Every structure is written in structure tokens, then in C-alpha cells.
Amino acid sequence: MEQTLSPIGVVVVSYNTAPLLRRCLASLQGCELPLRIVVVDNGSCDESVHLVRREFPTVTVRERPDNPGYAAACNEGISLLVDTCGAILVLNPDTELLPRAIESMADFLAAHPRVGLVGPRLLNPDHTLQRAAFRFPDLITTALDLFPPGEVLPGRLYDSWWHGRYPAEFGDAPFPIDYPLGACMLVRSATIDEVGLMDEDYFMYCEEIDWCRRIKLAGWAIWHVPTAHVIHVGSAATGQFRWKMYVALWRARARYTAKFGGRGLRYAHAALVTLGMLRLIGKAWRDYFSGRIDRNSLRGQLLAYGLILRTTGNLAAQPVAKATG
């Protein structure tokens, strides 16, 4: 591996995931490459900070009193490492790296100087394949998310190219992609120097899509490296606030579309989201009257869908500046 990529910086953002964070950090100990690890804690109420300081004394902890969002926390960690590390591994706390995962990704970066970012093969806790390589979202992706296959469309479409999937992910050879799932990605420090940090206006979701879009626009390639295996639990922190996170997801998608799409795409996206939210509002009322959900659940759903409609409409009316720090 090129000496310029060593050491590898590692940034882990934690939020009330202490047991998973312990496993994540423990899995890093077997890496043969020199690592500099930073944990940025977004105001956890559990023992995350004390756990890291007690059990992993070589790890740097940045303790925040609040939760500024995932992108902002990542940027804080990246900023501490990017000037002294050849590459930065951005890692969710609900991941566990299997042997030689980091080495495989770092070797690929070293061998391909115009590849700016790579992602590994992700596995579910039972070691089955978890989708980790995607095409940039478009109107078809949005339609399939809002009108789930199996309900109104053929189910096979959901796991197809039309929904941003790559058939090559089932193979063993590396291949170019638009972006990896943000749970684990290794990015070259030189790429960060050129492109900049993550857009902090994404509180949660789509920050990796935005970052990868900017990386590719700058002429860097992004690849999936299936020889690197990482277990990903998924939704460990976000699952704690289901409806808040659902609103955050669609707000982020609206922002991404407003930032990179023209006027026509922005309004087409807003129209699709409007139809999708109206469908969900109708479904929520039907579920309430049939007794499948209670009044509190109905209220939460209606509030979430209303917020999504308002945010999407506002962002469609005005583009978002592409310049980021």
C-alpha cells in the first residue's frame, strides 16, 4: 500500500448505541494498519462516552452537549484527522469490521489513484448480503419508494436496477458505483481536500449521496470492494425516533433534489412526493377506522406527512446552492 495512505483515520459518530459501539471499536483492534480513531458523541444519554474512555483509551473522544446532526459530527472528526491521515474511514457505530476489511479497501485505493472513495460489502448480522452499492436517486427511485412494490407495483422492481441496485453486487469483483451506503466508506484525504466536507444542512440521511455526487462531479471515481466485509446492524440509532427520522429522510431527499436537479426535476419530485404522502394519509385514516392503529399513532403519522409535504414544496420552489464548505 502507498505510504501516503497511512495512517488511516477513523471517524465514528455515536448516539445512544453503547453496546454496539463497543463491538465496533473492538473490531478495529485487529487492523494491521496504523489507525487514528475519533469518536464524536452527539449528546448520548447512555454510557457511550465513559465506555470509550474506559475501554479504548487510545481513542480520541469529542463529546458534544447536543445533537447537531450526523454530517456535522462527521465533519468534526474528519477535520481532526484529514491533515495527518492518508484516508478517512467513516463508520457507523452499528458496524463490525471483519478481518482485513480496512486493508482491502485501503489496498484498492492505493492501487487506483483516481478512485476517491470506496465502500465494502455489507452483511446482515446473520451474514446474509445487505445491499450497499447504489445509483444516484431519480424519479423512478422516488416512485418505487413511495409506492412500494408488492402493494401497487411488481415486487421484483424494488431490488432491480430501476431502484438503484447493481446486479454486480452479488459477484466477487470490484465495480464502479455512484455511492455506497454511508455506514462504512473509506475516502482519500486528497479527495476531501478538493471536494470539501459533508454538507451539514443534511441533519440525517442523504449526506453520503450528496458527498459522493460532488466527488464524482470533481472527476473522482467511486467503487464497491466486495473483498472487504463489514457487518451492519442498521437503524440502531435512527430507529429510536421513527417518525422524526421519516420526516428527516424525505426532507433530505427534497434538499438533495433541490440542490442537484433543475426546475423541472424539482417540481416532478414534489408532485410524486405529494401523491405518495396523500396515499399514506389515506392509508393512515383507513388503519385508524379499522382499529389497526390508535389515535396517537394516527396523529404522529399525519403530522409527519404534513411536514414532509410542506418541506418538499418549499424546497421545490427554490434551488439550493451547490457550494459547500
Q: How large a percentage of the chain has pLDDT more than 90?
A: 77
pLDDT at 236 over 60: no
- Copy the grid coordinates of residue 159: 431490488
Which superfamily, per CATH, for 3-238? Spore Coat Polysaccharide Biosynthesis Protein SpsA; Chain A (3.90.550.10)
pLDDT at 323 over 80: no
The rounded distance, in Å, linking the Cα atoms of 15 and 227 is 29
pLDDT tens digits, residue range 173-182? 999 999 999 9
2-14 average pLDDT score: 84
The rounded distance, in Å, linking the Cα atoms of 286 and 302 is 12
Q: Which DSSP string do the residues of 146-199 spell out, in sequence order?
A: HS-BTTTB-GGGGGSGGGTB-GGGGSSS-EE-SEE-TTEEEEEHHHHHHH-S--
156-162 average pLDDT score: 63
Helix ranges (DSSP H) in the chain = 18-28, 48-55, 70-81, 101-111, 139-146, 189-195, 207-217, 242-260, 263-289, 295-317
At residue 303, the pLDDT reads 95
pLDDT at 3 over 50: no
Buried b (16+ CB within 10 A) or exposed e, 76-111: bbbebbbeebbbbbbbbbbbbbbebbbbbbbbbbbe
pLDDT tens digits, residue range 33-92? 999 999 999 988 899 999 999 999 999 999 988 888 899 999 999 999 999 999 999 999
Tell me the whole-structure pTM to 2 decimals: 0.90
Choice among 1-10, 32-41, 192-201 with the minimum mean pLDDT: 1-10
